[in-house]
Amino acid sequence: YYRRSWSSESSDSVISSESGSNCYRVVLIGEHGVGKSSLANIFAGVHDSIDSDCEVLGEDTYERTLMVDGESATIILLDMWDNKREGEWIRDHCMQVGDAYLIVYSITDRASFEKASELRIQLRRARQKEDIPIILVGNKSDLVRCREVSVAEGRACAVVFDCKFIETSAAVQHNVKELFEGIVRQVRLRRDSKEK
Ligand code: GDP
Ligand code: MG
């Protein structure tokens, strides 16, 4: 699958083997159309250069190493939630394999926000007793005039979910880098508290 480093200063040679504990599988879930693939494309660096080979490798899986708080982390990002071609099993699979989850809704679509709650419940059921890092993501924050879900509602929902919250815009690339750094920090918090 596709691998790429996040910033120009860290070249691909920096990417080490995946055996280390610094490699995290992050899964994008959420209603169709909320912007999961758009976020994944930014992560993959599709917009970084014209002759990107992302299409050729065309799986719904991306890998990238980023520096977060002076420590490198490799994220394997899965964007296969909407892959109907593969059938329903793919969703069960997604619910099982993530080290962390990005539950995405669109701030312009209340139904997608309500769906996010459903997904949180499903995830809790699928991974009972596990303290899984989750970020609730309100995407399309650039569409201010079409907003149906307020920032306060998103934040309140994250409190109920017991997870972090961020609003992003894949369209204008706002908070996207922060989102992926944020999920790394969430995984590390749990890792570090286990080590104590
Ligand atoms: P997915 O079904 O969740 O993978 O959603 P997509 O990434 O395919 O996006 C669905 C549609 O929303 C596309 O037309 C995108 O261009 C658009 N879109 C995605 N993110 C944003 C955003 O942050 N702002 C705006 N204005 N449009 C977005
Ligand atoms: Mg998609």
ipTM confidence:
0.99
Q: How many CB atoms lie within 10 A of CB 20?
A: 10
Beta strand segments in the chain, E = 2-5, 23-30, 61-68, 71-78, 100-106, 134-139, 164-167
Q: Is the CB of 108 under 6 A from ligand 1?
A: no
Nearest to 28 by CA among 157, 119, 126: 119
Q: Is the CB of 170 under 6 A from ligand 1?
A: yes
Distance (angstroms) between ligand 1 centre and the Cα of 175 equals 15
Distance (angstroms) between ligand 1 centre and the Cα of 38 equals 6
pTM: 0.87
Q: Is the CB of 80 under 6 A from ligand 1?
A: no
Separation of alpha carbons 112 and 109, rounded Å: 5
Ligand 1, atom 10, lies closest to the CA of 33
Q: Is the CB of 35 under 6 A from ligand 1?
A: yes
Per-residue pLDDT of the chain (196 residues), as tens digits, is 455 545 444 444 334 444 456 899 999 999 999 999 999 999 988 655 444 443 334 568 999 989 999 999 999 999 999 987 777 889 999 999 999 999 999 999 999 999 999 999 999 999 999 999 999 999 999 999 999 999 999 999 999 999 999 999 999 999 999 999 999 999 999 988 877 6
Q: Is the CB of 175 under 6 A from ligand 1?
A: no
Distance (angstroms) between ligand 1 centre and the Cα of 32 equals 9
pLDDT at 196: 63
Q: Is the CB of 188 under 6 A from ligand 1?
A: no
Nearest atom, ligand 1, residue 139 CA: 23
pLDDT at 146: 98
